Amino acid sequence: MIKKLYLCAVILSLSFAFTLFAAEEIQILMKQDDPWMSVNAVRQEIDPGRGTAPLNIGGRILVPIRAIIEAFDGEINWDEDSEQISIAANGHQVSMWLNKQEISVDGQNKTMDIAPQSIAGRTMVPLRFAAENVGFEVTWLPESSEIILRLAVKTETSLEEMTPPVQPAAPTISTDREGNRIELPAKIERIISMGPSNTEVLVGLGCGDRIIATDSYSSNVEGIDPAIALFSMMNPDGERIIELEPDVIFVTGMSKVGGDDPLQLIKDVGICVIYIPSSSSIEGIKEDIRYLAEVMGATGKASDLISIIETGVAEVTAIAADIAEERTVYFEISAAPYMYSFGSGVFLNEMIELIGGRNIFVDQEGWISVADEAILEANPEVILTSVNYIDDVLGEIKARPGWDVISAIEEDRITIIDTDASNRPSHHIVKALWEMAIAIYPEYYSPSGE
């Protein structure tokens, strides 16, 4: 009996001990030159009421640190006489001084490669040095100039809750996103990326240095070597591709427009070709990121990219919940005389709905050709365009015969949306999401409320 009681006591004490290690995560997402940050998907100013944004100085990000530290339940103090910044967070004590590269971490002296500075009356602190020395994980995404801060916060959790379910072994990837059978090489060191959304995701996953060639539309993707070979997405030079000896080729479904497979020759010689059709939903985009990450062995980085999407969506939907008036929207992706837009079943339509608006062509499906009559009849309250191949796109729309009576033009609610961010299904859609939100409901989404 005594042994049984002792055993029960041991089990209970172990259960209590395990609660000390249970944790939930606090996450902050911010961006260079943007005065707003997201704290666990809640949008707030980095420097409340002052509009101060993170700055890149000599390759280091400097920020006004107070709101960031306080978001993690830390404390920060400023001593005017000694110009000392003191941070207490996560059981650590850090001291820095204005215009000095010395830093004290838990009583130990270290040296930073850039000093805190006073800029426009605000004390700006090197973010990575301050955050990592109080236990935060800092991730920099160079292709989007975004920063992710994470901190695990201890919480009480039972032993049963902490016991992870038994996970089956991860299956070997045997098909691409189109369902075609594939055989992955043992190592993937040389990549050809055909499709700018694939290229953006691969760079975001940290694989940009392995890309040896892309399609011509990917030439402006930051993070790839500007001197690499470029191919036509619809009619690539198969012999030249074979000469480059890629381990794998990622291809957008757009390359198969017309039904023929332009890379059949490459497949026939045994090179792994992976088709990733353009996703029609935000969830599909996230699945594409997960798939590419699994192929490349970069699942940890995938979480960062997906977090950018989920945080942006959460911030927008939280604001949209307070919007009662549903504004009608026409989004033009090709200008007159060959006007194109989209209906339901397209991620851009999903984004309009998340924002709180209504696409005037929601009753149609996919990418569609549209006529003046249909737009005039719908009389949209907002016009968005991603057209970038004419000089004065807004002037061209306003000058169309008969369009002066459209509500969006009468009220001057017509806006250009970033072409790449809105047309490429990657994690960069969040940039377009916010541009669209501010254009449709500036009084709700714009930092100035105008």
Domain of 362: which CATH number?
Answer: 3.40.50.1980
In the Cβ-directed half-sphere of 278, how many Cα atoms lie within 13 Å? 19
Assigned domain for 254 exists:
no
Tell me: the pLDDT tens digits for 218-248?
999 999 999 999 999 888 899 999 999 999 9
Q: What is the pLDDT of residue 258?
A: 65
Q: Is the pLDDT of residue 35 over 80?
A: yes
The predicted pLDDT at position 326 comes to 95
Chosen domain end from 128, 151, 174: 151
In this prediction, residues 182-205 reach a mean pLDDT of: 95
* Strand order across the beta sheet in which 84-89 lies: 75-79, 84-89, 92-97, 102-105, 108-111
Q: What is the mean pLDDT of residues 278-300?
A: 94
Euclidean distance between CA atoms 7 and 317, whole angstroms: 51
Better-predicted residue by pLDDT, 436 or 70: 436
Over range 45-57, report the average pLDDT. 84
pTM of the model: 0.73
Cα atoms found within 13 Å of the Cα of residue 97, Cβ hemisphere only: 11
Residues 319 and 124: their CA atoms lie apart, in Å, by 30
Q: Using one digit for the tens of pLDDT, what is the confidence trace for 117-173?
A: 888 888 888 888 788 888 888 888 776 788 888 875 555 544 444 444 444 444 468
23-32, 183-192, 300-309, range with the lowest pLDDT: 23-32
Q: Has residue 102 got a pLDDT over 60?
A: yes
- Position 445 scores a pLDDT of 94
Domain for residue 95, yes or no? yes
159 falls within a domain? no
Question: What pLDDT is attached to residue 159?
Answer: 46
**Reported confidence tier of residue 41, pLDDT bands at 50, 70, 90:** low
Question: Which tokens sit at 310?
Answer: 């989920």
* pLDDT for the residue numbered 257: 67
Domain end call among 102, 123, 151: 151
CA distance 440 to 443: 9
Residue 398 belongs to what domain range? 323-445
Average pLDDT over residues 367-371: 96
pLDDT at 70: 80
> Which segment of 13-22, 213-222, 226-235, 276-285 scores lowest on mean pLDDT?
13-22
The pLDDT of residue 166: 44
Q: How many CA atoms lie within 13 A of 155 on its CB side?
A: 11
Residue 68, pLDDT above cutoff 70: yes
| Strand partners of residue 102 | 111
* Number of neighbouring beta carbons within 10 Å of residue 408: 23
d(CA 103, CA 86): 10
* Residue 79 within a domain: yes
Q: Residue 24: what pLDDT? A: 60
Lowest mean pLDDT among 92-96, 191-195, 373-377: 92-96
How many structural domains does the chain have? 2
Query: Given 95, 118, 151, which residue is the final one in a domain?
Result: 151
Rg over alpha carbons for the chain, rounded to the nearest Å, is 26
Residue 220 belongs to a domain = no
- Which structure tokens are listed for 40? 């666990």
pLDDT band at residue 37 using 50, 70 and 90 as cut-offs: confident
Decide if 116 is inside a domain. Answer: yes
Q: Which band of pLDDT confidence, cut at 50, 70 and 90, is reported for residue 181?
A: very high
pLDDT of residue 19: 43
pLDDT band at 187 (very low <50, low <70, confident <90, very high): very high
**C-alpha torsion sign, points 387, 417, 314, 142:** positive
pLDDT band with cut points at 50, 70 and 90 for residue 382: very high
Q: Please check whether residue 362 lies inside any domain of the structure.
A: yes
φ, ψ (nearest 5 deg) of residue 149: -110, 135
Paired tokens of 301 = 């980085």
In a domain, 6, yes or no: no
* Inter-helix orientation angle 282-296/299-320, to 10°: 170
